[in-house]
């Protein structure tokens, strides 16, 4: 039923994406060519056009910002002509319904964050489309401003890498817009890749977002879907905040590293679905902060420093049939007791696969006969004293974990259990395709990061041994 609803949603958006063809099919075609002195301004041709006309623009540089107010107007570039902005304001401002802008390099927008200066802006229009463009060196790449049923597809957005992060705009920014489609774009060097605020019933699909702060950032939004995207080398892959009824499925969250870096962050996010994602080589894979009623299934969480962190303000989450493989630590519970929070690491007597599970399966049903303890005494202490993590690979940490099993002194919360651990990894559909997609985008750096961590751990162990040795000689 869920897949059926998702398919219907895509079909409806597909129909909407073709609405711009439904205008005046009999409109005239206007051809524009650049001159040797590059002084052609497109605004005059746009003003002279009527609703339903098509303006075909040849190669060259066309200076000046433009505003499109006509309906059903198609502005089509051949050979990537350049619309060179005035270094102020928005370069291409779309205010007409059912318009199409296709095949341009759009650059030279203004610098005023308070006025949302952009390469392209949908402003109070509906059913308009921008596709096949290159938005370069703009404050915001594309801005959706109170515009519904608009589409931004198969574009390149490169922000101002030379600016400090707080002075950049977002690659794509949505505000008070609904039923949008953002598909097949590459976005990099922006503040946030895609920022979604008070925007509902939209789909973000098949984008590659890299080298930003948050690859995807939802705020105060509902009923959105984030599907088949690749997010690499950001501070956080996706941050879903103060939102509900969200779906993020079949995405890749990889190499998102730094202080407080995450693959996926839930913060006051409710009734969300997170299925069939690849979460690889992040500082923290999954971070639950006031996450409520999340359904987390079929994810491959691999090679992260910490697979998951669950704060005590998170309730009624169900985490099951995921693969947690070769993470430095699997789960950390923070904030005191987890009692009464009803977070479950299983459903229908099927838990998760944990690569460090040491149990057995005598009855051969594929489920371990003993529960898997997700947080040992060392991780319990690290939750309250993060600096202890420096001793992660030290003999002291290993000895503490072994001693705690033999003679428990500190009671680790019983909620940190998977009562039905799986003996074999879950077969996740299309996971091989996700790994191949990640490799084609630049491989993985997990080995290098682990070597660095191990190197510093060995140095720390060496210092400890030297200090201990000197103490014995005193």
Q: Model confidence over 15-24: pLDDT tens digits?
A: 455 444 444 4
User: Of residues 257 and 322, which shows the higher confidence score?
Assistant: 322
Q: Model confidence over 9-53: pLDDT tens digits?
A: 544 555 455 444 444 446 899 999 876 555 688 999 999 999 999
48-to-44, 51, 76, 86, 118 alpha-carbon distances in Å:
6, 10, 16, 22, 25
The yes-or-no verdict on residue 278 having pLDDT over 50 is: yes
The yes-or-no verdict on residue 78 having pLDDT over 80 is: yes
Q: Model confidence over 97-120: pLDDT tens digits?
A: 999 999 999 999 999 999 999 999
Beta carbons of 330 and 310 less than 8 angstroms apart:
no
Q: Cα(198)–Cα(191) distance, rounded to whole angstroms?
A: 19
Instruction: Give the largest CA-CA distance in the chain.
Output: 97
Q: Model confidence over 154-207: pLDDT tens digits?
A: 999 999 999 998 899 999 999 999 999 999 999 999 999 999 999 999 999 999
Instruction: Kindly report which listed range (68-77, 340-349, 444-453) carries the lowest average pLDDT score.
Output: 444-453
- Tell me, what's the pLDDT at 466? 47
Q: Model confidence over 408-429: pLDDT tens digits?
A: 555 555 567 899 999 999 999 8
- Tokens 């705020």 locate to 219
> Among candidates 378, 364, 293, 282, which has minimal Cα distance to 324?
282
User: Of residues 242 and 455, which shows the higher confidence score?
Assistant: 242
- Tell me, what's the pLDDT at 310? 92
Structure tokens given for 299:
């994810």
The yes-or-no verdict on residue 267 having pLDDT over 70 is: yes
- Please state the separation of Cα 462 from the chain's center in Å: 39
Q: Looking at residues 294-302, what average pLDDT do you find?
A: 97
Burial (0-12, 13-18, 19+ Cβ within 10 Å), 206: middle
Structure tokens given for 329:
């630590």
- Tell me, what's the pLDDT at 334? 78
- Tell me, what's the pLDDT at 11? 43
For the chain, list the domains and their CATH numbers.
1-211 (2.160.20.10)
27-to-23, 51, 169 alpha-carbon distances in Å:
9, 7, 37
The yes-or-no verdict on residue 96 having pLDDT over 70 is: yes
- Tell me, what's the pLDDT at 165? 86
The yes-or-no verdict on residue 391 having pLDDT over 80 is: no
- Kindly state the DSSP code that residue 433 receives in the 8-state scheme: H
Mean pLDDT of all residues in the chain? Answer: 85
The yes-or-no verdict on residue 407 having pLDDT over 70 is: no
- Tell me, what's the pLDDT at 331? 87
% the chain with pLDDT above 70 = 77
Q: How many alpha carbons lie under 13 Å from residue 189 in its C-beta half-sphere?
A: 13
| pTM summary value | 0.84
Phi, psi of 64 (to 5 degrees): 110, 145
The yes-or-no verdict on residue 56 having pLDDT over 70 is: yes
Beta carbons of 125 and 14 less than 8 angstroms apart:
no
Q: Model confidence over 371-382: pLDDT tens digits?
A: 998 865 455 555
- Tell me, what's the pLDDT at 426? 96
Confidence category of residue 259, pLDDT binned at 50, 70, 90: confident
Q: Cα(453)–Cα(474) distance, rounded to whole angstroms?
A: 32
- Tell me, what's the pLDDT at 386? 58
- Tell me, what's the pLDDT at 312? 87
- Tell me, what's the pLDDT at 416? 75
- Tell me, what's the pLDDT at 460? 44
β-pairing, 372-373 vs 417-418, is: antiparallel
- Tell me, what's the pLDDT at 19? 47
- Find the Cα–Cα–Cα–Cα dihedral 261, 264, 268, 269, rounded to 10°: 170
């Amino acid at each position: 039923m869920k897949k059926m609803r998702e398919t219907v949603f895509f079909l409806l958006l597909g129909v909407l994406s073709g609405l711009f063809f439904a205008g005046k099919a009999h409109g005239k075609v206007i051809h524009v060519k650049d001159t040797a002195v590059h002084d052609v301004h497109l605004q005059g041709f746009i003003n002279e056009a009527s609703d339903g006309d098509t303006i075909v623009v040849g190669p060259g540089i066309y200076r000046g910002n433009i505003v499109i107010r006509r309906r059903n107007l198609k502005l089509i570039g051949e050979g990537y002509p350049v619309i060179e902005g005035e270094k102020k304001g928005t370069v291409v401002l779309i205010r007409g319904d059912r318009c199409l802008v296709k095949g341009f390099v759009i650059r030279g927008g203004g610098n005023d964050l308070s006025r949302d200066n952009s390469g392209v802006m949908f402003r109070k229009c509906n059913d308009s489309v921008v596709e096949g463009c290159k938005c370069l060196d703009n404050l915001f790449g594309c801005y959706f401003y109170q515009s519904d049923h608009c589409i931004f597809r198969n574009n390149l957005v490169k922000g101002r890498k030379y600016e400090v992060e707080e002075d950049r705009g977002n690659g794509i920014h949505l505000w008070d817009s609904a039923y949008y489609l953002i598909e097949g774009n590459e976005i990099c060097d922006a503040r946030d890749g895609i920022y979604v605020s008070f925007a509902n019933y939209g789909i973000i699909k098949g984008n590659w977002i890299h080298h930003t702060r948050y690859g995807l950032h939802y705020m105060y939004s509902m009923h959105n879907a984030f599907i088949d995207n690749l997010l690499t080398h950001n501070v956080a892959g996706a941050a879903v905040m103060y939102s509900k009824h969200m779906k993020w499925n079949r995405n890749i969250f990889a190499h998102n590293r730094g202080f407080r870096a995450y693959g996926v962050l839930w913060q006051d996010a409710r009734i969300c679905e997170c299925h069939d994602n690849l979460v690889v080589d992040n500082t923290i894979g999954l971070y639950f902060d006031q996450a409520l009623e999340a359904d987390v299934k079929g994810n491959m969480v691999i090679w992260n420093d910490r697979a998951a962190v669950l704060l005590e303000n998170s309730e009624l989450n169900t985490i099951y049939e995921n693969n947690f493989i070769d993470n430095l630590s699997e789960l950390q519970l923070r904030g005191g007791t987890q009692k009464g929070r009803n977070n479950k690491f299983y459903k229908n007597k099927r838990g998760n696969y944990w690569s460090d599970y040491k149990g057995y399966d005598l009855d051969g049903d594929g489920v371990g006969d003993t529960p898997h303890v997700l947080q040992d005494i060392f991780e319990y202490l690290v939750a309250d004293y993060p600096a202890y993590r420096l001793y992660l690979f030290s003999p002291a940490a290993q000895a503490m974990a072994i001693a705690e099993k033999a003679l428990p002194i500190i009671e680790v919360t019983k909620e940190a259990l998977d009562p039905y651990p799986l003996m074999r990894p879950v077969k996740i559909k299309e996971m091989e395709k996700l790994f191949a997609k990640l490799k084609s985008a630049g491989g993985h750096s997990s080995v290098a990061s682990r070597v660095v961590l191990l190197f510093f751990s060995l140095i720390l162990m060496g210092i400890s041994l030297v200090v201990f040795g000197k103490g014995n000689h005193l």
